[in-house]
Structure 1
Amino acid sequence: MIDQLRTMAIFQAVAELGSFRQAAKTLNLSPSVISHHVSTLEDQLGTPLLYRSTRRMSLTDAGAELLAASQRMTAAALDGLSAVQRRAKQPTGTLTIAAATPFSQSPYAEAFTRFAQTFPDVHLKVQLDDTTVPLEGSTVDVAIRGRTHDLDDSSYKVRKLGKVQFCVFAAPSYVHARPKPQSMEDLADWDWIQSPPISWSAFATLADGTAPSRSPRVVATCNNFALARKFVEEGLGFMIETYPLVADDFRAGRLVQLVPRVKLRPIDVYAIYPANSPKDGLAHLFVDFMMGQPWAEEHSFGVR
């Protein structure tokens, strides 16, 4: 079968080029070898495929029919080879990313979308959670986090993507019923919706490293951003979160930013992935893509 396919390809070259000599030159074979293959094919089929003369060569009806079949065969083979080559060059597979739920409403989500559009053959699985999911023993390829101190440095690689800025906000109805705060110290007499359940000093530390001496009263603790935000909208108290999540609400008047001139300490955001991830694998591809975003490393979003 393989020999017949090879002979058909040689016959096709002769028919398309119109010359045994030209086919021999193109295929890097001797004219006698070319002639032998065509004659063998004619013997096998029991019919002439070419009219030969000293001046010209033309196809018989059988030759024309075989040429069309051979061209279809060659085209199908080339299409198959091209498809495999494209697949080899285009990244494929499943990439699992873990991030905190608020990232779904941040520029990171936009970057996830751009990655999926750029690499359509990659199945992107994004796991959003309101709590930090342990990476040890998980199937997560890349985690987007704001802290790294709980990781074994020898097992994971860490690359800084950028920074996000915290801000303080509340519902207009809650704010208007109280004296306008001028500093974080003034918020000690206000009601705090604690989400996520992290200490006041971790949230309220200023960019210069100082922290308020007093903490506000915690009226609710919640590890879900959507529910905590609902508490705020209903006027239960104020909340601290990253600026990109509520910037549109400030502009629309749905929420009010408190102490806008106070610059809280931003948090660094990292991409974390196993140290043994293949350099040509999807984890490296994704992290490199994220590093290429406008806000990566030295750039920050929500930091004004």
Structure 2
Amino acid sequence: MIGASELVIFAAVVEEKSFNGAARKTGLSNTVVSKKISALEAELNTQLLYRTTRKLSLTDAGRTLYQHAKGLNQQASDAFTAVNELSRDISGHITMSVPTISGELLLAKVISEFCRTYPNITIELRLENKLVDLVEDGVDLAIRTAELKDSSLIAVPLLQSNWVVCASPAYLGSSAPLDSIDDLKQHNCLCYDLQTNGSNEWRFGSKTKSRAIRVSGSMSSNNALTLKKAALYDTGVIYVPKCSVYEELQAGALVEVLSEHQPRSLGVFAVYPYTRMKPKKIELLIQSIKAAYQDLRHYFE
């Protein structure tokens, strides 16, 4: 199927009057340019160019195609120019505070790609699970998974993050039944210390109708990865954000339980201090981060 890239390359060949010139203009090799033109002719089942050792000339079909392709080529050139100019204009430093889970799952990749796109921006990425004071600590942007209270911070919603109760098949097979919330009292519950209401209080349901139960276990941690590894070692039951165990659930290494009960669900937000004019660099970074979260929303919801 003919794509825009083939048409752009064809227009470049015509305008540069050679494969070598088109290769220089598009940043491709001579071989790639030649193969693209041959593939285009094969797809259309017609010859577009007369090739001699000294020059190239258009066939009637080639002239017709060029009339359409040259407009696309100009649009692509204008777009590249606009992006390059934008990249040069956007500069400065951004200090970010992000949760460990999101930092390891997707933000490190997003930030790397963002820095390549905007080479005049530098970013300090802090992976930390505490809620820092953005103004006092000099943080420009933070990612927070929480029920946000009213404040002077501007919050941009990214998505909802659901939690799951899960354990390894071996643990479940050798332990007491786990069919209801009350059954959790009979299990070794490994607690996530970052829960707002206390690590030993596991909550289910909505704000209007919720159920909480006090659990106990042999260990707790403020790091979901640590709890996941403990669960994989058949140590006990964990209640953690779904994104932290998504791949293990898909592989069957961990099994979700109590799925009929509504789990915790917290909003994920990009937050930054209020300013009259939002810096363009912050706006662009939030757009990139939001797109990345949306691409992986199945990990969270």
Of the candidates 179, 183, 186, which is equivalent to residue 180 of structure 2?
Answer: 183
3-state SS of paired residue (1:204):
strand
Runs of 4+ with >6 A deviation: none
2:87 and 2:120 in contact (8 A); partners too: no
Give 1:139's aligned residue. 138
Structure 1, residues 243-270: CA drift from partner, whole Å, max 9, x if none?
1221111222322222234331311111
Give 2:256's aligned residue. 257
Residue 160 in structure 1 maps to residue 130 in structure 2: no
Structure 1, residues 117-160: CA drift from partner, whole Å, max 9, x if none?
44343223211113333324112111110226466x23x21121
Give the superposed CA RMSD. Answer: 3.2
Structure 1, residues 207-234: CA drift from partner, whole Å, max 9, x if none?
4753335322233221122322333233
Residue 237 (structure 1) shift = 1.6
3-state SS of paired residue (2:268):
strand
Q: Which has the larger radius of gyration?
A: 1
Give 2:238's aligned residue. 239
1:164 and 1:242 in contact (8 A); partners too: yes
3-state SS of paired residue (1:228):
helix
3-state SS of paired residue (1:137):
coil
Q: Which amino acid aligns with 2:241?
A: T
Gaps of at least 5 residues in structure 1 are 1-81
Give me the whole-angstrom Cα distance separating, in 2, the residues matched to 1:175 and 1:250.
14
Q: TM-score, length-normalised on structure 1?
A: 0.60
Cα separation, partners in 2 of 1:167 and 1:112, compared to 1, 3 Å: farther
Give me the whole-angstrom Cα distance separating, in 2, the residues matched to 1:303 and 1:227.
19
Give me the whole-angstrom Cα distance separating, in 2, the residues matched to 1:88 and 1:178.
57
Q: TM-score, length-normalised on structure 2?
A: 0.61
Cα separation, partners in 2 of 1:202 and 1:283, compared to 1, 3 Å: farther
Give 2:98's aligned residue. 99
Of the candidates 194, 205, 208, which is equivalent to residue 191 of structure 2?
Answer: 194
Q: Which amino acid aligns with 1:272?
A: V
Aligned residues: 217
3-state SS of paired residue (2:211):
coil
Give me the whole-angstrom Cα distance separating, in 1, the residues matched to 2:283 and 2:254.
39
Give me the whole-angstrom Cα distance separating, in 2, the residues matched to 1:108 and 1:88.
20
Q: Which amino acid aligns with 1:227?
A: T
Residue 162 (structure 1) shift = 1.1
Q: Which amino acid aligns with 1:285?
A: L
2:163 and 2:241 in contact (8 A); partners too: yes
Give 1:279's aligned residue. 278
Give me the whole-angstrom Cα distance separating, in 1, the residues matched to 2:177 and 2:108.
34
Gaps of at least 5 residues in structure 2 are 1-80
